[in-house]
């Protein structure tokens, strides 16, 4: 079951991506996109959000295994297993709430365009608003691996550096709630592109490490 | 066992609070504006508010590691039998959500110049009602923690006796925030002396007392154990 939980992370990500493709949201649209982009595409967005939310819910078991890995690695010595749990729950909320908001935006045909626009804005700003917690959590975890687990067989040193780099690459996401044009908007190459691209090596690397930990005998640290 | 990163996480709590207050100061929101404030208070101050909210959200995110250390302290005190470690974890998540989401909603409210005033007002109201609404889970979690600490004083000997009573007092003083989502004027409004003032003022002794106790626990842990098994390559 542990291995199944670990695989639920990448599988969930793939399902989210399929949902976003169905919804026509595989790449975030421009903040200037008219509300008709969403309201005229209502059924596809509704189906896509249902699929994407199902995928987002699968991060839960993956993040629980991440917390378990830290607990196994330091034998409960630090509070970092706790930290992964609270970060994991926050990540799930921050993944699912924007999809809910997009569903709300297109839920009622005939809703005022201003109201639809406001919910669309809220959804996209929150998608990248999770970066605030993501950056601090991932950079702290990276520093923890480098500083506290220098000889760990479970949490290799390169994983610490990867966490630090991914956190730094995600920093431009902090600007998406303020920029309305240019590379720092929620669909911009810097604010959207860098955090999105950096997310995948982070997820893949942790999945690889978690699966490797599962193969190790429990006695080794 | 204690680790330097644990101490970093504990210190990030008060540092995050200071950063958040700096952000609110820049945004002009260090004291909650009246529910009757015109939306131009927000839309007319867009640049400063956006910069301030970004800083405040960055500070708010730093509560998460602090809360993880709060949960750890109960595990240190009671071992694996501690249910209150889990309570602190659950409380920590909802606490951070209720700190971050109101700022995100205020960002949404002022994101698009030219948004109708009614829509801006709707998001501003949601933000403040949610910010004050943190009182519901805060009161229950802090009160239960305080009562538990007073009740189980012998089992929780690592915590000072006064901390339980302080939790109870701070929880009771935060209760007026329950009304902030229902009252639009007077002392019980979200900017009212009672509903905003009491919980805000009593947040700080609760927060700093716990930070002091968590750091003290870390020092004791450092003094009582040797190098970590991981660091030693075990």
pLDDT > 90 in chain A, percent: 35
In a domain, B232, yes or no: no
pLDDT of B220 higher than 50: yes
pLDDT of B51 higher than 50: yes
Domain boundaries, chain A: 2-215
CB B99 within 8 A of CB B146: no
Which pLDDT score is estimated for A218?
62
Residue range B29-44: average pLDDT?
Answer: 90
In a domain, B66, yes or no: yes
Question: Which pLDDT tens digit goes with each residue over A88-142?
Answer: 888 888 888 999 999 999 998 888 899 999 999 999 988 877 788 889 899 999 9
CA A80/CA A83 separation, integer angstroms: 5
Which pLDDT score is estimated for B234?
31
Report CB contact under 8 Å: B104, A83.
no
DSSP for B12-63, please give it: HHHHHHHHHHHHHHHHT-SSPPPTTS-THHHHTTHHHHHHHHHHHHHHHHTH
Q: If we measure between CA atoms, which residue out of A153, A10, A13, A6 comes closest to residue A65? A: A6
Q: If we measure between CA atoms, which residue out of B111, B130, B127 comes closest to residue B50? A: B111
CA B57/CA B220 separation, integer angstroms: 33
Question: Which pLDDT tens digit goes with each residue over A131-181?
Answer: 888 898 999 999 988 887 777 778 888 999 999 999 999 888 888 888 888
B97: Cβ contacts below 8 Å, ≥ 6 apart: A90, A93
pLDDT of B133 higher than 50: yes
pLDDT of B5 higher than 60: yes
Which pLDDT score is estimated for B109?
92
Closest CA in chain A for residue B62: A136
Structure tokens at A173: 């996401």
Q: Residue B28 CB: number of other CB atoms within 10 A?
A: 14
Binding-face residues of B in 71-100 toward A, CB within 8 A:
71-72, 75, 85, 89, 92-93, 96-97, 100
Residue in B1, B58, B112 closest to A132 by CB:
B58
pLDDT of B113 higher than 70: yes
Q: How confident is the model at residue B24 (pLDDT cuts 50, 70, 90)?
A: very high
SS (H, E, C) B116-160: CHHHHHHHHHHHHHHHHHHHHHHHHHHHHHHHHHHHCCCCCCCCC
Binding-face residues of B in 129-148 toward A, CB within 8 A:
none
Q: If we measure between CA atoms, which residue out of B173, B212, B166, B199 comes closest to residue B66? A: B212
pLDDT > 90 in chain B, percent: 43
CB A144 within 8 A of CB A78: yes
pTM to 2 decimal places: 0.85
Residue B223 at interface with chain A, using a CB cutoff of 8 Å: no
Report CB contact under 8 Å: A122, B105.
yes
In a domain, B227, yes or no: no
- Domain enclosing residue B187, as ranges: 4-221
In a domain, B226, yes or no: no
CA B149/CA A65 separation, integer angstroms: 31
In a domain, B228, yes or no: no
Buried-exposed string A137-174: b where 16+ CB fall within 10 A, e elsewhere: bbbbbbbbbbebbeebebbbeebbebbbbbbebbbbbb
Calculated CA dihedral for residues A44, A46, A50, A52, nearest 10 degrees: 60
What is the ipTM metric for this complex?
0.82
Binding-face residues of A in 137-156 toward B, CB within 8 A:
137, 140, 143-144, 147-152
CA distance A210 to chain B (A): 17
Q: How many domains does chain B have?
A: 1
């Amino acid at each position: 079951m542990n291995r199944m939980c670990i695989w639920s992370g990448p599988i969930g990500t793939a399902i989210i991506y399929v949902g976003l493709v169905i919804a026509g949201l595989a790449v975030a649209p421009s903040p200037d996109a008219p509300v008709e982009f969403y309201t005229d595409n209502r059924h596809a967005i509704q189906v896509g959000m249902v699929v994407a939310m199902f995928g987002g819910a699968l991060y839960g078991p993956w993040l629980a295994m991440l917390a378990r890995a830290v607990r196994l690695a330091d034998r409960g010595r630090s509070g970092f297993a706790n930290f992964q749990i609270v970060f994991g729950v926050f990540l799930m909320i921050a993944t699912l709430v924007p999809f809910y908001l997009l569903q709300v935006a297109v839920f009622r045909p005939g809703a005022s365009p201003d109201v639809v626009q406001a919910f669309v804005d809220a959804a996209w700003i929150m998608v990248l608003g999770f970066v605030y917690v993501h950056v601090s959590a991932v950079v702290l975890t990276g520093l923890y691996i480098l500083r506290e687990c220098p000889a760990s067989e479970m949490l290799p040193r390169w994983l610490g550096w990867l966490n630090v780099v991914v956190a730094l690459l995600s920093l431009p996401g902090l600007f998406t709630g303020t920029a309305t044009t240019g590379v720092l908007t929620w669909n911009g190459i810097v604010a959207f592109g860098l955090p999105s691209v950096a997310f995948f090596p982070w997820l893949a690397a942790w999945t690889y490490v978690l699966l490797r930990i599962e193969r190790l005998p429990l006695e080794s640290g | 066992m204690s680790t330097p990163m644990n101490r970093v996480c504990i210190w990030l709590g008060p540092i995050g609070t200071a950063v958040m207050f700096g952000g609110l100061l820049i945004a002009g929101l260090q004291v909650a504006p009246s529910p009757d404030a015109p939306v131009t208070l927000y839309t007319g101050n867009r640049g400063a508010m956006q910069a301030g909210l970004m800083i405040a959200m960055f500070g708010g995110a730093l509560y998460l590691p602090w809360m993880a250390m709060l949960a750890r302290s109960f595990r240190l005190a009671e071992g694996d039998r501690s249910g209150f470690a889990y309570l602190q974890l659950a409380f920590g998540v909802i606490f951070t959500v209720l700190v971050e989401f109101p700022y995100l909603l205020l960002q949404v409210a002022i994101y698009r110049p030219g948004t109708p005033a009614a829509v801006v007002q709707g998001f501003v109201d949601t933000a403040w009602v949610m910010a004050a609404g943190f009182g519901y889970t805060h009161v229950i979690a802090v009160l239960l923690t305080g009562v538990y600490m007073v009740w189980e004083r012998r089992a929780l000997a690592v915590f000072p006796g006064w901390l339980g009573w302080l939790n109870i007092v701070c929880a009771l003083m935060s209760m007026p925030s329950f009304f902030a989502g229902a009252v639009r004027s007077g002392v019980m409004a979200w900017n009212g002396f009672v509903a905003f003032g009491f919980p805000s003022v009593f947040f700080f002794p609760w927060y700093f007392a716990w930070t002091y106790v968590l750091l003290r626990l870390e020092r004791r842990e450092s003094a009582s154990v040797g190098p970590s098994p991981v660091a030693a390559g075990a």
